[in-house]
Structure 1
Amino acid sequence: MTTVFQRNAADEISDPSIQMPHRILETSTHQFPIDVLAQRLEQYLADPSSVQEKYPWAARIVMGFPVSSWQRHLVWHVGQKARFISAVWSGAGLGSYLTNEWLGSSAGSKALAENSEILIDGQQRLHSLEEYFMDRLAVPDAQGQPRTWSEVGNSERKRFLSTIFAHSTVCSDDELALRKTYDLYAQGLVPRAHDQRAVQ
């Protein structure tokens, strides 16, 4: 049987009652260099206690972003982290990371409401960057020798930091929609185990 691709369905055979899934939350995407993330990490490291005061509900902070308690733990092993960093050096596509722009205030406190500014997708990749920048991860150089960030010269650092890593954002205070978005983002890559999903 030969199948012919048709970009548009013929009106007489299309069924208007068939509806495919829709985006849960409107998403915007911007192209930023990794340097933007490095600057955020620098700001966090300059005063980590103020960031922890701002997000007391966060399960952890990754590259200065709060991560909610309903997201999976840090699960990438050293090899996966090193492969990601090597992909950055090699110019491979990095996909995008997703954050929530929504800001809610907690009554009578400096803390922001839960789910404010959370990192929704990209935790493993951003944590790999953080580990590398903090010299807790080494990756092979062009000769195959393991190198940490502090061993790399400024011209090579500039090349790495100028690599584009797309930043996608949503803006919502609806935790269920955020959880569904979190689960949806994992479907096209490495599916999360059932116990790692936010919506059970």
Structure 2
Amino acid sequence: MITNAGPWVNDIPCGSIFDRAQQLTFESARARQEYPWAERFIMGLPLAPWQRKFEWTEEQSRRFITSAWTGVHLGNYVLTELELEVGPASSGAAGAAGAAEADGVEYAYLSNCVIEGQQRLTSLELYVTNRLSVPDNTGVPTLWAEVLARDRRRFENTIFSCGTVRDRDEQRLRSLYDLMNFSGTPHAESDRATWHDAEVLDPQGEAPRPG
């Protein structure tokens, strides 16, 4: 049976995601301590064990980052609720997040893990760690480190909504993952709303209209 406990959606600025990534992605020992059950992390967040590998091409990642720069709605990424396994007493996600500053904190199995959004979160990490260049407004490929501070602040204020599922039952989460990722119909190339191939233009330079 599919869980009906979410996801609850909050609007999260990209800058907040970057802060989390800087705390954990570059301190792997801390991440392993907090999530000993996790094998892979992205932007400081553990991935659900059944998540596929990163599949996007560099071009797909660039398009996503370009979308963020232009203000296009980025959709949602979905996490499970944060819950402590051992450590200082806390209640709720806020308490768990605060307690995480103490030593010896360990989060429960499947707590705070990515259920949906791995490809987009990975693209963000590649960008902010200077492993992906994205064309600027003049078309020049630019790394994050080369972006002016004022423009970085603008990007960091871009909203990337986060949905939270208040359920950590593995079978229900696996069912939810399948529902979110296998219920749609992939677009074909012919479904594009724009025409790119000059050969399809008629002699007057206008694209033929679909029948």
Q: Which range, TM-score by smaller chain?
A: 0.7 to 0.9
Residue 77 (structure 1) aligned with residue 75 (structure 2)? no
Q: Distance in 2 between matches of 1:86 and 1:38?
A: 17
Aligned counterpart for 1:63 among listed residues 24, 27, 43: 43
Residue 30 (structure 1) aligned with residue 10 (structure 2)? yes
Residue aligned with 1:98, SS: strand
Superposition pairs of residues 89-128 of structure 1, within 5 angstroms: 89-103=69-83, 105=85, 111-128=106-123
Residue 161 (structure 1) aligned with residue 156 (structure 2)? yes
For residue 21 of structure 2, what is the amino acid of its counterpart? L
Instruction: Please report how far the alpha carbon of residue 130 of structure 1 lies from its aligned counterpart in structure 2 after TM superposition.
Output: 0.4
TM-score, structure 1 as length reference:
0.77
Q: Percent identity?
A: 37
Does the 8 Å contact 1:97/1:168 carry over to 2?
Answer: yes
Instruction: Please report how far the alpha carbon of residue 113 of structure 1 lies from its aligned counterpart in structure 2 after TM superposition.
Output: 3.1
> Given the superposition, is the C-alpha separation of residues 101 and 163 from structure 1 closer, same or farther in structure 2, using an over 3 Å criterion?
same
Alignment-derived partner of residue 129 in structure 2: 134
For residue 42 of structure 2, what is the amino acid of its counterpart? V
Alignment-derived partner of residue 10 in structure 1: none
Could you tell which deviates more after superposition, 124-133 or 25-34?
25-34
Unaligned runs of at least 5 residues, structure 2: 88-103, 188-211
Deviations 1:69-108, CA, capped at 9 Å, x for gaps: 211111111111111001101111100110001425279x
Residue aligned with 1:105, SS: strand
For residue 176 of structure 1, what is the amino acid of its counterpart? Q
Could you tell which deviates more after superposition, 117-126 or 51-60?
51-60
